[in-house]
Amino acid sequence: MSLLFSPLHLPSPRGGLTLSNRIVVAPMCQYSARNGEASDWHLMHWGNLLNSGAAMFTIEATAVLPEGRITPSCLGLWDARTEAALADKLQRARQLAPPLPVCIQLAHAGRKASSAVPWQGGQLLPAAQGGWETFGPSALPQLPNEPPPTELTLAQMAQIRDAFVAAAQRAARIGLEAVEIHGAHGYLLHEFLSPLANQRSDAYGGSFENRIRFPLEVFAAVRAAFDGVLGLRVSASDWVEGGWDVAQSAEFAKRLKTLGCDFIHVSSGGVSPQQKIALGAGYQVAMARAVRAASGLVTTAVGLITEAQQAEAILQAGDADLIALARAFLYEPRWGWHAAAALGGQVVANPVYWRCLPREAQTVFGKVSIGGR
């Protein structure tokens, strides 16, 4: 039997979730929010991917504070207004799809905040162009020609920790089953982990133990307040000599497990323009394998995984427990259906679509009748 189409249980204090297969839609920034509020674009985007055949859908990086947005157009969940907008669009999207667990990635962009959207260059925005003050563990800019972020005080760090907690509580209120804390891609929590971005001289900088302290504090605080499935996305390597690496990621994952982490999503890069990423099919899978072996956590592999047989092979080798895809789902929103057809699996789909399958793939929708007039 295909492992990709076998169920998986994700534990949590609430009792956990049983996913119908091992496919997850990874978080994908849409840069389509208005003052942090979800828009009609999100309604369309979410409704589309909730019908993808995946077992869980993850909402894009969602800022816990206004200054934590990557761009002025990024999604937020920091007050009653942003909560209401997200709840409205999500409820409407879920009415258009089969029952499916939804996860949200909670984030703070740190020194990479206040940036233009990618198709407008993605560079740091000055105040005159709608930008704002950025913050980081140290006053070190992302790019040499950028103004440095403001080094966070302990009081400001406590406010950010509390903002993650409040956002997780809002997520629970609107019915989200899972939360993924964003600790990757050069954003704030990754900045604390990496010695390339964190050169503090207090208890939160310097040694490995000090650099992991704040991310662990944030995770522990969210765990205490949120009883659904809770995980973290990590950049397992900075791809820069002397930076954060797989060995540190594995040890960090072990600490997360002791705090009640339910899964870890293994990515890489993003903290330094000096990174030299060896791109190729499944280029981050070996990192997922190492983190999984060391920690025993349910592990999600991601990154240039595009074919059903490739995803199946990763699971069969024991390299990961879940397969996350992002851009592949944008290109082919029914990727899960095609994977089921290729591997002999089954997915749940809205009956409106039952008659669309070619004859040779009609078992994809399971024991339902595809017939009719």
**Catalytically annotated residues:** 187
DSSP conformational letter for 281:
T
Q: What share of the chain is helix, strand, coil (3-state, %, to 5)?
A: 40, 15, 45
Answer for the pair 134, 149: CB distance below 8 angstroms, yes or no. Answer: yes
Distance between CA atoms of 157 and 106, rounded to whole angstroms? 16
Distance between CA atoms of 288 and 286, rounded to whole angstroms? 5
Distance between CA atoms of 179 and 171, rounded to whole angstroms? 8
Distance between CA atoms of 118 and 125, rounded to whole angstroms? 12
Q: Which residues have a Cβ under 8 Å from the Cβ of 12 and sit 6 or more positions away? A: 178, 227, 228, 229, 230, 262
* Rg for the chain, CA atoms, rounded: 20
